[in-house]
Amino acid sequence: MSFAAGQGSGRGSGASPVRVALLGSGGSIGRQAVDVLARNSDAFRVVAIATGSQAGVLEEQARLLHPIAVALADGDAAARLDLPAGTELVGGADALESLATRPDVDLVVVATGGMVALRSVLAALDAGKIVATANKETLVAGGHLVMPLARRLAAGVAAAPGGATHPLASPLGWLRPIDSEHSAIWQCLVGERHAAVERLWLTASGGPFLDSSVADLATVTPERALRHPTWTMGAKITIDSATLANKGLEVIEARWLYDVAFPAISVVIHPQSVVHSAVQFVDGSLKAQLGTPDMRLPIQYALTYPDRLASPTPAVDLIAAGRLEFRAPDEDRFPALRIARAAGVSGPLASAALISADEVAVARFLDGSLDFNGIPRLLDAAVDRFGAGSPAEPSLEQLINLDIEVRRFAEAYP
Ligand SMILES: NC(=O)c1ccc[n+]([C@@H]2O[C@H](COP(=O)([O-])OP(=O)(O)OC[C@H]3O[C@@H](n4cnc5c(N)ncnc54)[C@H](OP(=O)(O)O)[C@@H]3O)[C@@H](O)[C@H]2O)c1
């Protein structure tokens, strides 16, 4: 991608709209991304959208956004799609990749779960697209593949005349986090030097069972676990928040995004979910980003960086918030946090095994074939079994094969 002055998102004044492909448009993040994009239709032109199985939602989104191309992974439902004139259906196993790498796309928003979009993310970066990702697997399993591409793109911009101070001269300009914690850290880091960073603080709400005993946790039902106290999200991430596995995945994500070593990444429980995360600097300063818990904010920041646009989300009312609490996480009651961090320290193979095992563990908890405390037990067993193998840095194909093997193991786990 070529870059021009004022093109960070690139929404510069007078700039033409940024052309967007949205993968996973029917999910929790996808629908909120559609809301942000539709509200800012002068700044963004949605060229392509894709979802998995929700034909009705895709049709509705196509009528709202008038994309040039759409994809639906469910082939039977795709055959019956009723699309507006001017919108074509792209089919086939590589539909996501072909949407993400279209020549008329500048920026790809990744809102799919699991590993399904990893190949497309790599292809998009390789083709010089900006990638804004909510998807954790992209970094947890594929950070060693993704970040070198983002660094290469940033280095290309930095080497151009006048490029060193351009927003795209940083890997974060190309691989943009949507996860609220990582967006917060990104926002705190703008204008700061890497050498000045001492510690990253990831905040965690603690989920619905923050004060439950280990015995209580054994009796947790899916219905109770799906009731998150502060955020409304997809089912998988809501269960991950309840076990704190999600925070462990976020530690790994942060390690890749910000190039900070694991011992310098801390987790702090903050039940109000107002402080989205913080950065501690060598002079003892702590910078935090605060906001109403609404994913449309980090989605929008990833789209408009380095600019900010008005949003429908009200700012936090500090006086109404009154009191903000912080405390250390309890890794004895929530061992998934410790297991995930240890997997991250072990390396990409263990992190990838963790991700695949967790998908199955959460699905099994939801279908009643695994209890709540069984989730961390399964994660531990999978990381133990698959995490120490070789190669230490698996290729995309090796990651896909590992995913199949780990899933098989996790499905058969007692
Ligand atoms: N939700 C949040 O607030 C939040 C916050 C931070 C990070 N994240 C991360 O963001 C990612 C998405 O989370 P979510 O909660 O939005 O999940 P979700 O509600 O389950 O949505 C995932 C979407 O991906 C779509 N999809 C699945 N396979 C596909 C395929 N082959 N091609 C195209 N689309 C496909 C699904 O389509 P159908 O529904 O049409 O089948 C679904 O709409 C996860 O990695 C999560 O950890 C989420």
Could you tell me which residues come within 8 angstroms of residue 137 by beta carbon, excluding any fewer than 6 positions away? 113, 114, 115, 118, 355
The superfamily CATH assigns to domain 18-178 is NAD(P)-binding Rossmann-like Domain (3.40.50.720)
Q: Does the pLDDT at position 10 exceed 90?
A: no
Q: Whose CA is nearest to atom 19 of ligand 1?
A: 27
Residue 280 pLDDT class (50, 70, 90 cuts): very high
In this predicted model, what pLDDT tens digit does every residue of 24-57 receive, in sequence order?
A: 999 999 999 999 999 999 999 999 999 999 999 9
Ligand 1 pocket mutation pick from 23, 25, 28, 176 by most atoms within 8 angstroms of CB: 28
Q: Does the pLDDT at position 3 exceed 50?
A: no
Predicted pLDDT of residue 26: 97
Query: Which atom of ligand 1 lies nearest, measured to the CA of 137?
Result: 45
Ligand 1 centre distance from Cα of residue 235 (Å): 10
Ligand 1 pocket mutation pick from 29, 89, 120, 249 by most atoms within 8 angstroms of CB: 29
In this predicted model, what pLDDT tens digit does every residue of 122-165 receive, in sequence order?
A: 999 999 999 999 999 999 999 999 999 999 999 999 999 999 99
In this predicted model, what pLDDT tens digit does every residue of 169-211 receive, in sequence order?
A: 999 999 999 999 999 999 999 999 999 999 999 999 999 999 9
Q: Whose CA is nearest to atom 29 of ligand 1?
A: 52
In this predicted model, what pLDDT tens digit does every residue of 283-331 receive, in sequence order?
A: 999 999 999 999 999 999 999 999 999 999 999 999 999 999 999 999 9
- The response to whether residue 179 sits with its C-beta less than 6 Å from ligand 1 reads yes
Residue 9 pLDDT class (50, 70, 90 cuts): very low
Predicted pLDDT of residue 303: 98
Residue 2 pLDDT class (50, 70, 90 cuts): very low
Nearest to 399 by CA among 389, 414, 412: 389
Ligand 1 centre distance from Cα of residue 233 (Å): 9
Predicted pLDDT of residue 389: 82
Ligand 1 centre distance from Cα of residue 156 (Å): 32
What is the rounded distance in angstroms from the CA atom of residue 115 to the CA atom of residue 140? 10
**Mean pLDDT (whole number) for 8-26:** 78
Predicted pLDDT of residue 14: 58
The packing angle between helices 245-258 and 235-243, to 10°, is: 100
Ligand 1 centre distance from Cα of residue 121 (Å): 15
Q: Does the pLDDT at position 116 exceed 80?
A: yes
In this predicted model, what pLDDT tens digit does every residue of 329-349 receive, in sequence order?
A: 999 999 999 999 999 999 999
Q: Whose CA is nearest to atom 18 of ligand 1?
A: 27
353, 406 Cβ separation under 8 angstroms:
yes
- The response to whether residue 131 sits with its C-beta less than 6 Å from ligand 1 reads no
In this predicted model, what pLDDT tens digit does every residue of 58-68 receive, in sequence order?
A: 999 999 999 99
Predicted pLDDT of residue 6: 38
- How many C-beta atoms surround the C-beta of residue 281 within 10 A? 17
Mean pLDDT, rounded, of the chain:
94
For the chain, what is the HEC assignment? Answer: CCCCCCCCCCCCCCCCCEEEEEECCCCHHHHHHHHHHHHCCCCEEEEEEEECCCHHHHHHHHHHHCCCEEEECCHHHHHCCCCCCCCEECCCCCHHHHHHCCCCCCEEEECCCCCCCHHHHHHHHHCCCEEEECCCHHHHCCHHHHHHHHHHHHHHHHHCCCCCCCHHHCHHHHEEECCHHHHHHHHHHCCCCHHHEEEEEEEECCCCCCCCCHHHHCCCCHHHHCCCCCCCCCHHHHHHHHHCHHHHHHHHHHHHHHCCCHHHEEEEECCCCCEEEEEEECCCCEEEEECCCCCHHHHHHHHHCCCCCCCCCCCCCHHHHCCCCCECCCCCCCHHHHHHHHHHHHCHHHHHHHHHHHHHHHHHHHHCCCCCCHHHHHHHHHHHHHCCCCCCCCCHHHHHHHHHHHHHHHHHCC
Predicted pLDDT of residue 391: 87
Query: Which atom of ligand 1 lies nearest, measured to the CA of 138?
Result: 45
Ligand 1 centre distance from Cα of residue 321 (Å): 30
Q: Whose CA is nearest to atom 42 of ligand 1?
A: 27
In this predicted model, what pLDDT tens digit does every residue of 355-380 receive, in sequence order?
A: 999 999 999 999 999 999 999 999 99
273, 321 Cβ separation under 8 angstroms:
no
- The response to whether residue 293 sits with its C-beta less than 6 Å from ligand 1 reads no
